Structure 1
Amino acid sequence: MKSFRWLTTILLLLAILASGCANGSSSGKNGKGEKSYDGVTIKIGYQGSGGLFGKIIEEKWFEEEFDKLGVKVEFAQFQSGPPMTEAMASGRLDTAGLGNMPIIAAQAAGIEFKVISQSLEGKNNVAIIVPKDSSIQSVQDLKGKKVAVAKGSNAFNFLYRGLAGAGLAASDLEIIPLQPDEAQPAFETGKVDAWSTWDPTISLNVLQDKARVLADGEQLGVLSPSFYIARKAFADQYPELVTLYLKVLNKALKWENEHWDEALERYAGERNVPSAVIEAIYTRSKGISIPVSDAIIAEQQKTADFQYEIENIRKKIDVSEVFDNSYIEAALKE
């Protein structure tokens, strides 16, 4: 009986010790009972150089807020959306801003992420452009022509939906997959006849008399919204950090709206173009960060269904599964 009592006592002590460990460092709490972010780094992806993100990086607005929590910040620059979702799939990226098509392809490929807010309206921020003196006057005239596009991008979806609306198949023309830095010289030297792309490329080429818009989203009735996304595992573990990420973006957008003349001068100087070019870019693609509406989700489903029909994605998906407005709603409340 005595040995049984000793065994009971030992088991009780072990249970108490285990309970203490559960409430210690392994729970992610520090000695003050606050959540610990020791060793946590948020890896933030962005597209292009300069612009609002250039201002954010220069001012260290992300570092300013995340340093308060002991969270490190890393930035990674990309030319288009598909490489961003690939980086997210391998855990090398936690947040990103990108177009509608890359996130559809990513969802179909089983990459786990959440859409946390809408970043562009999508009416005319994507377009097919042709050289200013080109004989091409309609989408139908693209038959037999060479068209550049970044594969898997929102411009890729826009091109294919535009062709379908004009009664053309992809096989009716030569589609050449090129990233923006490759497509620009190909377009300027006549190696391609048209280019399906997004802003600021559209406005930079049009307002410098290098191109004209053949068709944009408003003309074809094809929306190309953009979104901010977060890696699902990161968002589930650190929802407050995803909310903070959106709060910093909101701070940056507020600065841009309240200091537009300064922003305009800055952005024009970065690209060495007249301010009118920058104003045109922002007319087409003014940045936002808002909850995603049911109407936008429905439009996104149309895009996903179309991409499945043309066998560009291998399985039918329900896009509503990846949308989560809780993060942006929390950011806008605080």
Structure 2
Amino acid sequence: MKKTNILLLTFILLVVGVLQACGNGKAAKNEELKTVRLDYAYYSPTSLVLKKFGWLEEEFKKDNVKVEWTLSQGSNKALEFLTSNSIDFGSAAGAATLITKSKEVPIQNIYVLSQPEWTALATLDKSIKTVKDLKGKKVAATYGTDPYIFLLRALNEVGLTEKDIQYINLQHNDGYQALVKGDVVAWAGLDPIMATAEQEAHARLFYRNTAFNTYNFLNVREEFKKAHPKAVEKVIQAYEKARKWIQENPDEAAEIIAKEAKIDLNTAKIQLKRTNFDHPIPGEDQVNALNAAGEVLQKSKVIKPDVDVKRTTDDLIDPSLAKKIIQQ
């Protein structure tokens, strides 16, 4: 009798366990998306346009899903937000994204927001004419962003490294202020602040190289992408709508940038003029750009020497959803 009771109790516990497992599995499968979290940035015109017109809010309202926006002051901030799970989608420079991915942060690039010439080396010092003139001098840039990587590549091109200058790590606007005050002789700028420096402070861009500007990536957390693929598609569709709108309405887009970033309209137009919106699907061009940047970043020890840059780049870039959505 005692043995029968034990067997019965074991059977009951087993059944309860199976039912609980099924219930949990069903709950996980049917877990509803309640909020989509994105960043917007002054260096990302499409994000400003999308936020302005509320197209995402309209689309997700049908599913009772809220949309939350967070301001990113630089690629470093956007990537910090993604790493800490503060946002689901973040706009950042390609090379900066590669640095974060090399640290095994689970993010992927799913869309190209633009191909900007958003960074160059700026100065107010008449003695600074070439990159070689920076040797031993104070130069500002925001660590981990495209301007910082641009600076490293510019130095590398003339046989110098970060150790050959006095590098000052400042957020973009603080770097501009340091340049104006004379605290640094040069600054690796970022639009629209860089365009403002040209217009208001008469800063001179003494070194420009479009090839060293990596693309503006739309990145997503892999966990979110796996759990909510339809939501990811909706976000790409909305960004695609914003991209096309900018191409068709450049003057109105400049007005939106000027108002959001609180800059002069002519400055916003300069930023847009330096930005190409023609190639939204990530692919070979982005892979080649990141592999080239990765070599310098590894040489400068920003990326660890044991990281396989090519494999990291391949894992980072996923064009599948953009190809599916965008009709070429």
Q: How does 1:103-118 map to 2 (within 5 A)?
A: 103-118=97-112
Match of 2:326 among 324, 329, 332: 332
Match of 1:71 among 65, 69, 85: 65
| Equivalent position of 2:121 in the other structure | 128
| Equivalent position of 1:185 in the other structure | 177
1:167-207 residue CA offsets vs partner (Å, 9 max, x unmatched): 11212110100001311211111111100122212222113
Q: How does 1:161-176 map to 2 (within 5 A)?
A: 161-176=153-168
Task: Give the AA of the match of 2:41.
Answer: Q
The 3-state SS of whatever aligns with 2:241 is helix
* CA distance in 1: counterparts of 2:246 and 2:122, whole angstroms: 28
* CA distance in 1: counterparts of 2:217 and 2:45, whole angstroms: 17
* CA distance in 1: counterparts of 2:112 and 2:92, whole angstroms: 10
* CA distance in 2: counterparts of 1:25 and 1:259, whole angstroms: 47
- Cα pair 1:199 1:284 within 8 Å, conserved: no
Name structure 2 gaps, 5 residues minimum: none
The 3-state SS of whatever aligns with 1:230 is strand
Match of 1:247 among 221, 230, 237: 237
Using the TM superposition, give the Cα deviation of residue 107 of structure 1 relative to its aligned residue in structure 2, in angstroms.
Answer: 1.1
Over 3 Å counting, the alpha-carbon distance change for 1:49 and 1:129 in structure 2 is closer
| Equivalent position of 2:27 in the other structure | 26
Name structure 1 gaps, 5 residues minimum: 30-35
- Cα pair 1:113 1:230 within 8 Å, conserved: yes
- Cα pair 2:137 2:166 within 8 Å, conserved: yes
Q: How does 1:1-334 map to 2 (within 5 A)?
A: 26=27, 28-29=29-30, 37-38=32-33, 40-48=34-42, 51-122=45-116, 124-131=117-124, 134-218=126-210, 221-269=211-259, 275-287=265-277, 290-314=280-304, 315-317=306-308, 318=311, 319-333=313-327
- Cα pair 1:217 1:224 within 8 Å, conserved: no
- Cα pair 1:250 1:289 within 8 Å, conserved: no
Using the TM superposition, give the Cα deviation of residue 230 of structure 1 relative to its aligned residue in structure 2, in angstroms.
Answer: 0.3
- Cα pair 1:267 1:278 within 8 Å, conserved: yes
Over 3 Å counting, the alpha-carbon distance change for 1:28 and 1:250 in structure 2 is same
1:47-87 residue CA offsets vs partner (Å, 9 max, x unmatched): 23895434432322211111112222111111111222222
- Cα pair 2:42 2:261 within 8 Å, conserved: no
Task: Give the AA of the match of 1:225.
Answer: Y
TM-score (norm 2): 0.85
The 3-state SS of whatever aligns with 2:253 is helix
Matched residues, number: 315
